[in-house]
């Protein structure tokens, strides 16, 4: 699209401004010309005049008349997204209900319910992302509800965002950062999912321009410096292929296009390489003019001709002809070794496929008879609807869940009968089980992938055939939430865990009732509330649950007073943790009592973990009372332990860990082994990939065929650390693995 005339022109007279607005409007009409039906022009004129009038007193930050914004958004809708007349009317009116005196009723009266509904959807999502996270999730849900209601809402919203990004220069820096990060987080993935690759790459590039200005400038500059050299190379690469295709009688276009700045930067970051080392700075595109019934056949023929000329990389073949992406994308991608030993990506597709690749969802309406593709979008919307209906209202994880479930690339897996299922990348056998049916998900005990037995956490790959194994005795556990990425599986597991908790809590309820009756106190809401508050729990359900699983044994009830039939809690004893002196040891629990550090009573005790030995749950530890700091927790084999115990025995307190999976502790391991290719990869794969532990820092030095690696890592407890050490020792070529204390 040629840039809309939006450069700040503060010095224009009213007449000049009017002429500028009319010029933009006429350009819009010219773009729409092929789509105009009788009566459309009049409707457009009405919408245009309504918008001009509504925004007449408004200006943009750059000083220009506000109406230029809706006009520019309408042009993006038509020229870049391929939308039609009705969407153009909505784009012209998209800010009127929110910012001006025009109401939805006015719009409905003038243009009918369909346009009013879309404008309403656009109004609802105008301030999508709020500072408050739960508000953000709520707003995002509104977007998705309107999306499943009428996808044009999102397409117009993307055009609106695109224009805002193109004119972001006149905004304050903090506003630029907020809008850019929102764009990268939500809008670019949405554009990708709607099949709008050009919109997606431009949004990412523009966001990067504000979020990473230095890197952006550097890559843009290098791209322009290498432009001539690239063009020369592309011509050299294309020449022999062009001759072959012409000889074979194909009607085609062929050209090279540079990769986006954002995707080049991503490659540099992920692979840790410099600009010069990114080999596929551009892709070659072959677009065939083939009739629909011969498209696939022709694409494969072209693939065959290209790979006769240049050797392909077998693992870089992507066949989206046989299995289009769920956003409708169809093409054949291959990477071949071109002249001068350079890898080059080649994309082969027909004209129809190209239009779908560039116009995404909008092009689908044009080719609606392609029912199979249409149903892929419908399936996707259906899945979103399902999740929106079951989602907890306060779910702050919603956005993240949505991104991993619906905005990720997808894989294709097969049922035993050969039906294809589409799942996001990273899905496990358990995700697959839930995608078939919730009842199968909750009873899943394992799976057979390509006839081999695998655990429920097994990560699936495209092309896997999966058979789920179930058992009536199976019950979901908290761990399951770490094995799944799809929103459906997550919400169903949470529901099942709640039900399970209620079932167990019923046993606890019975125990509490018996204990209260034994003490001749009433089993009523007042007494239950008193107990819940006493044990510092958030609900009676938690109280009953903790009693049932024996985390609370109610022995403290002996200290309660019973007045009538009501419980009165004992007066709390202040924890002896402030201003500790030597004499304060007298207030501490006796030597043989056990003090819980984490868990139920963690909030009663002020404690710090000693830096000299970095204890983690499961280590043998003792507490040491320090002046002013409360308790310091040391490992019993700490270098300072003997000194402390010998000289200040009266200050030492026996301590014990309670299980707490919420908190991670930093610890270190030292690995020595044979310096072999891929050894670092094996180690990091095991730690981050299989055991899902977070690495804080890693240094590896190799000399004379041996390597020594120091890894700082976050673990929940000693068991987790021991499992890691055992698993590392089993890796080929590893000699020793020891824990060390991180500084």
pLDDT in tens, 311-345: 988 878 888 888 777 667 889 999 898 888 888 88
Check: pTM over 0.75? Answer yes or no. no
* CA dist list (Å): 139 to 142, 144, 488, 518: 5, 9, 20, 52
Residues 453, 447: Cα–Cα separation, whole Å:
6
Residues 471, 473: Cα–Cα separation, whole Å:
5
Question: Among candidates 614, 610, 623, 609, which has minimal Cα distance to 651?
Answer: 623
pLDDT at 19 over 70: yes
Residues 65, 24: Cα–Cα separation, whole Å:
12
pLDDT at 596 over 60: no
Q: Please, are residues 207 and 188 in contact by the beta-carbon 8 Å criterion?
A: yes
The conformational region for residue 95 under phi > 0 = left, psi -120 to 50 = alpha, else beta, is alpha
Residues 502, 475: Cα–Cα separation, whole Å:
13
pLDDT, tens digit, for every residue of 265-276? Answer: 887 777 777 777
Residues 70, 440: Cα–Cα separation, whole Å:
49
pLDDT of residue 376: 56
* CA dist list (Å): 590 to 228, 558, 576, 581, 659: 81, 20, 13, 17, 23
Residue numbers annotated as active site: 98-99
Listed range (330-334, 369-373, 490-494, 657-661) with the worst mean pLDDT: 369-373
pLDDT of residue 139: 55
Which comes out higher in pLDDT, residue 368 or 583? 368
pLDDT, tens digit, for every residue of 455-466? Answer: 888 999 877 889
pLDDT of residue 298: 92
Question: Among candidates 443, 427, 432, which has minimal Cα distance to 466?
Answer: 432
Mean pLDDT of the region 503-525: 82
Q: What is the Cα 688 distance to its own chain's centre?
A: 18
Residues 440, 315: Cα–Cα separation, whole Å:
34
DSSP state of 408: S
Residues 6+ apart with CB under 8 A from 264: 219, 223, 275, 278, 281
pLDDT of residue 382: 63
pLDDT at 743 over 60: no
Mean pLDDT of the region 462-487: 86
Question: Among candidates 280, 352, 370, 363, which has minimal Cα distance to 316?
Answer: 280
Instruction: Look over the chain and give the mean of its residue pLDDT values, rounded to a whole number.
Output: 77
Q: Report residue 587's pLDDT band, with 50, 70 and 90 as the boundaries.
A: very low
pLDDT, tens digit, for every residue of 500-513? Answer: 888 888 888 888 88
Residues 164, 367: Cα–Cα separation, whole Å:
30
Q: Report residue 368's pLDDT band, with 50, 70 and 90 as the boundaries.
A: very low
Strand pairing class (282-288; 343-350): parallel
* CA dist list (Å): 594 to 265, 635, 655: 55, 16, 5
Among 356-360, 549-553, 726-730, name the most confident range: 726-730
Sign of the torsion formed by the C-alpha atoms of 300, 304, 309 and 315:
positive
pLDDT of residue 478: 82
Domains of the chain: 14-218 (1.10.3210.10), 221-367 (3.30.460.10), 495-568 (no CATH), 582-656 (no CATH), 665-740 (3.30.70.260)
Q: Any idea of the CA torsion for 169, 175, 180, 185, to the nearest 10 degrees?
A: -170
* CA dist list (Å): 125 to 94, 136, 156: 11, 11, 11
Query: Which residue reads 């990348």 in tokens?
Result: 425
pLDDT of residue 37: 83
Q: Please, are residues 718 and 724 in contact by the beta-carbon 8 Å criterion?
A: no
Listed range (429-433, 607-611, 635-639, 723-727) with the worst mean pLDDT: 635-639
Mean pLDDT of the region 580-600: 39
Q: Report residue 428's pLDDT band, with 50, 70 and 90 as the boundaries.
A: very high
Listed range (173-187, 473-487, 683-697) with the worst mean pLDDT: 173-187
Structure-token pair, residue 671: 């690995």
Q: Report residue 241's pLDDT band, with 50, 70 and 90 as the boundaries.
A: very high
pLDDT of residue 473: 85
Q: Report residue 639's pLDDT band, with 50, 70 and 90 as the boundaries.
A: low
pLDDT, tens digit, for every residue of 384-420? Answer: 666 655 555 444 455 555 655 566 677 778 888 877 7
pLDDT of residue 267: 79
Q: Please, are residues 616 and 667 in contact by the beta-carbon 8 Å criterion?
A: yes
Residues 641, 58: Cα–Cα separation, whole Å:
72
Q: Please, are residues 317 and 333 in contact by the beta-carbon 8 Å criterion?
A: yes
Share of the chain above pLDDT 70, in %: 78
Q: Report residue 742's pLDDT band, with 50, 70 and 90 as the boundaries.
A: low
Mean pLDDT of the region 693-707: 82
Residue 742 DSSP SS3? coil
Sheet with 652-656, edge to edge strand ranges: 595-596, 652-656, 621-626, 630-635, 607-609
pLDDT, tens digit, for every residue of 666-676? Answer: 888 888 888 77
pLDDT at 429 over 90: yes
Q: N- to C-terminal Cα distance for the chain?
A: 57
Among 302-306, 339-343, 483-487, name the most confident range: 302-306
Question: In the chain, what's the furthest Cα-to-Cα distance?
Answer: 102
Listed range (129-133, 608-612, 637-641) with the worst mean pLDDT: 129-133
pLDDT of residue 244: 92
Q: What is the CA radius of gyration of the chain?
A: 32
Residues 6+ apart with CB under 8 A from 272: none
pLDDT of residue 601: 43
Mean pLDDT of the region 125-129: 51
């Amino acid at each position: 699209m040629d840039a809309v005339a939006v450069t700040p022109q503060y010095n224009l007279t009213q007449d000049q401004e009017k002429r500028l607005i009319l010029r933009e409007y006429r350009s819009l009409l010219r773009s729409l010309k092929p789509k105009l039906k009788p009566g459309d022009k009049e409707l457009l004129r009405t919408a245009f005049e309504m918008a001009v009038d509504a925004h007449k007193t408004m200006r943009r930050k750059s000083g220009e008349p506000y109406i230029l914004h809706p006009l520019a958004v309408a042009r993006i809708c038509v020229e870049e997204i391929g939308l039609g007349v009705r969407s153009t009317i909505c784009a012209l009116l998209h800010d009127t209900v929110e910012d001006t005196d025009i109401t939805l009723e006015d719009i409905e009266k003038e243009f009918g319910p369909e346009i009013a509904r879309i404008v309403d959807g656009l109004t609802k999502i105008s301030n999508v992302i709020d500072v408050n996270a739960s508000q953000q999730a709520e707003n995002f849900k509104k977007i998705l509800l309107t999306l499943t209601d009428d996808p044009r809402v999102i397409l117009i919203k993307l055009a609106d965002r695109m224009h805002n990004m193109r004119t972001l220069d006149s905004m304050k820096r903090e506003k630029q950062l907020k809008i850019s990060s929102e764009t990268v987080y939500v809008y670019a993935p949405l554009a990708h999912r709607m099949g709008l690759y050009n919109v997606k790459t431009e949004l990412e590039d523009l966001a990067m321009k504000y979020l990473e200005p230095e890197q952006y400038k550097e890559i843009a500059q290098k791209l322009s410096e290498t432009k001539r050299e690239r063009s020369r190379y592309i011509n050299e690469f294309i020449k022999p292929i062009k001759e072959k295709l012409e000889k074979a009688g194909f009607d085609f276009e062929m050209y090279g296009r540079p990769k986006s700045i954002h995707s080049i930067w991503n490659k540099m970051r992920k692979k840790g390489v410099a600009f010069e080392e990114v080999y596929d700075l551009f892709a070659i595109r072959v677009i065939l003019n083939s009739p629909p019934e011969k498209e696939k056949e022709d694409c494969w023929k072209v693939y065959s001709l290209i790979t006769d000329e240049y050797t392909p990389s077998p693992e870089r073949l992507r066949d989206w002809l046989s299995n289009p992406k769920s956003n409708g994308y169809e093409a054949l991608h291959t990477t071949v070794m071109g002249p001068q030993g350079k890898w080059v990506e080649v994309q082969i597709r027909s004209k129809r496929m190209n239009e779908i690749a560039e116009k995404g969802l909008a092009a689908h309406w044009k080719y609606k008879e392609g029912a199979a593709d249409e149903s892929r979008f419908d399936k996707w919307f259906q899945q979103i609807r399902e999740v929106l209906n079951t989602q907890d209202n306060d779910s702050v994880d919603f956005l993240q869940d949505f991104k991993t479930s619906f905005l990720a690339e997808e894989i294709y897996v097969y049922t035993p009968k050969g039906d294809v299922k589409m799942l996001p990348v990273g899905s496990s056998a358990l995700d697959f089980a839930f995608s078939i049916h919730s009842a199968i998900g909750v009873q899943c005990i394992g799976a057979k992938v390509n006839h081999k037995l695998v655990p429920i956490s097994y990560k699936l790959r495209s092309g896997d055939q999966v058979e789920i194994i179930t058992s009536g005795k199976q019950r979901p556990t908290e761990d399951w939430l770490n094995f799944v990425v799809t929103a459906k599986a997550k919400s169903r597991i949470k529901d099942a865990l709640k039900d399970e908790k209620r079932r167990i809590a019923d046993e606890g309820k019975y125990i509490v009732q018996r204990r209260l009756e034994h003490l001749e106190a009433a089993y009523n809401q007042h007494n239950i509330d008193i107990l819940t508050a006493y044990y510092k729990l958030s609900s009676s359900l938690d109280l009953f649950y903790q009693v049932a699983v024996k985390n609370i044994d109610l022995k403290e009830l002996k200290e309660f007073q019973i007045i009538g039939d009501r419980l009165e809690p004992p007066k709390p004893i202040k924890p002896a943790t402030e201003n500790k002196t030597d004499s304060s040891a007298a207030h501490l629990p006796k030597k043989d009592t056990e003090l819980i550090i984490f868990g139920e009573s963690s909030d009663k005790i002020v404690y710090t973990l000693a830096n000299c030995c970095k204890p983690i749950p499961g280590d043998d530890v003792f507490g040491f009372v320090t002046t002013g700091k409360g308790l310091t927790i040391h490992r019993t084999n700490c270098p300072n332990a003997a000194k402390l115990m010998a000289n200040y025995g009266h200050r030492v307190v026996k301590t014990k860990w309670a299980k707490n999976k919420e908190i991670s502790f930093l610890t270190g391991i030292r690995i020595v082994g044979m310096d072999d290719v891929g050894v670092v990869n094996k180690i990091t794969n095991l730690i981050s990939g299989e055991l899902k532990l977070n690495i804080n820092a890693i240094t590896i030095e190799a000399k004379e065929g041996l390597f020594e690696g120091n890894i700082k890592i976050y673990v929940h407890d000693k068991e987790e650390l021991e499992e890691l050490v055992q698993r590392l020792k089993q890796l080929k070529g590893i000699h020793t693995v020891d824990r060390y204390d991180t500084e």
